[in-house]
A and B are shown apart, each in its own frame.
Chain A
Amino acid sequence: MRNRYSIFSLARNALSYHEDWQTAWRSPEPRSRYDVVIVGGGGHGLATAYYLAREHGITDVAVIEKGWIGGGNTGRNTTIVRSNYLWDEATHLYEKSLQLWEGLSQDLNYNVMFSQRGVLNLGHSLQDMRDIERRVNANRLNGVDGEVLNTAQVKAMVPVINASPDARYPIMGASLQRRGGIARHDAVAWGFARAADARGVDIIQKCEVTGIRRKNGRVVGVETGRGFIGANKVGVVTAGNSSVVAAMAGLRFPIESHPLQALVSEPIKPVLNTVVMSNAVHGYISQSDKGDLVIGAGIDAYVGYGQRGSFSIIEGTLAAIVELFPTFSRVRMNRQWGGIVDVCPDACPIIGLTPVGNLYFNCGWGTGGFKATPGSGWAFAHTIARDCPHELNAPFSLERFSTGHLIDEHGAAGVAH
């Protein structure tokens, strides 16, 4: 790496008043042709490029981004990382990702501030608790850590929560994944970009793909705002715009794009040292290292590409958050925004081959893609390099919608992330 980050580089650069740090990645002009072109410079796309280089030795790669890297859903999520899904296929994929998270800062030589502060999924009814017990048992059978907590244990972990029996949303218990937590979302994009760049990947920003050129049923390159770029293989990782890019290749996907909103409060002193999620009330909350409360809401039911959602959605979420945490009622919200999530009918992603030769799609992560960033890139890189899915992502093919092998994760993934 050109400029390895360490305590020594920090001290050395302090001597020059931190004015001589190299840029973290180059911004080259696009070449006319690459071995692999990745469309979409979010976390998943950058991770794909990084693992193509690191795991498969493919460095003749360009990542093409229409805006700036990490400016889409990577910079718009609530940064929760966990792997406690219900079904085997999903659990294995997300657990691979969680294992990569655990070594990611060292691997990338970039502090992604991954903090395993635990993730609580609250249960508010007897049925919630039955579902939680079922999911924790399934997790443990798959080798994923999980515990079922009772009301007193939840209260001990989160003293500010309203655990009174006459609360609007009584807390009957929770599942806890201690290895879950949060990470710094921007750092994930920047870290993958810098590490991929160091291995020779070209990162090209402000370059919109406008067409996918095909010949005899195979992809030969992409039309962009900066001219045609030839490629032996094209991997598309464009989240909310997946259907738009798919249509460029004459493909139809089982995806609908919806606005998903989140908001952050003013910074306050440390009050919440874990992640609290509740599927029943459509809300999830954590406190960032900066001190602001990071709150996620639900999706709007209509198709939307506007990166903003309805006020009624965040109103409902905040009403629930205030019931759960009465002490937060006077905290002021600083910012609110929306990201466009690509939702599949079974709340699971599509990672694999398409009917067009050498064209690959990684999409449909819906409301929960951030946690999967390293694992998604790792599996997608394998798929592109070998022209064949890894066993981890083979179940997540586009064909599952015709064979009927859906992976119904709405229970564990449907609302809260």
Chain B
Amino acid sequence: MSGYGWVWWSWNLGADLRDMLQYEFIRNALEAGTIIAIVAGVVSYLVVLRRSSFAAHALGHIGFSGAAGAVLFAVAPIYGLLLATTVSGAAMAVLGKTAATRDVEIGTVLAFVLALGLLFLSFYKGYATEAYSILFGEIVGISSSQVVFTLEASIPVMVVLGLVYRQLLFASLDEEVAEAKGMHTVLLGVIFMVSLAVAISIAVTIIGVLLIFALTVTPAAIAIRLATRPLYAVILSVLIALGAMWAGIFIGFYEIEPTSFFIVTIVFVAYVLVRTVPLIPPLFRRSSPGPTLALAPMSSPPGPAEPLAGSAANPERT
């Protein structure tokens, strides 16, 4: 990824930005992307703390089928996404932790749900394009009404999250004590999962269901290694998501490759950096011998970053 490849840039950032902002679809993408990055940055901290990345993964898949179903019934995909993810997210929260750890059952159900999505899409003529944009995101098609919808879906989530954030934090860090204190941990779990569902649904328009981890897990996975104060970690997580979003859209405008590729690549590189550059995390640590590489924050599904981070931790082997 050498800078010399980017021949379309004038190297005058201001002029480039002005150039880019003339296009309405880019303005829409930036507005929607900003809202999405804020919501996803906040939610992702809870995803990492609660070790719910598998839930995020599952909701993305379920969202795919919801979106495909909506396409079949000539409804905007976002509504199908929202419906499918919020309902199944709430159900997962009610069924509780025991259900969330049943990988085999969840995997079996997920495969079937995905097959349903495939079936829905096959009924539809614009099959390939729709499937592609749901799976990988498509920023070109974001209308201003979609931006408004993104904002409308985000505001209630952010208000509710702001109100219960400390309770959620407590229940995520120490569920047993929270429960003994009379807190409604199941209700908090539902609030979290519905927030996650909304974050996923709105993020899909830009980044697609398959790459959803990059916004709902990775920003906080980076932030939690840099900050031990939840407030700072959340702020950092939002900033990382915002930075990746803006930079990704900017690069994506000048390059032919998909924007979602750039967004994911940026957060991935940042993640690899905090996992491998030994100086970064210990700034905030005591006597730990570098970052703890033995355990990755994405525990349930085998995250693609792990083998890489693991091998980079043993440079003498290469």
Asked if A and B bind, the verdict is: no
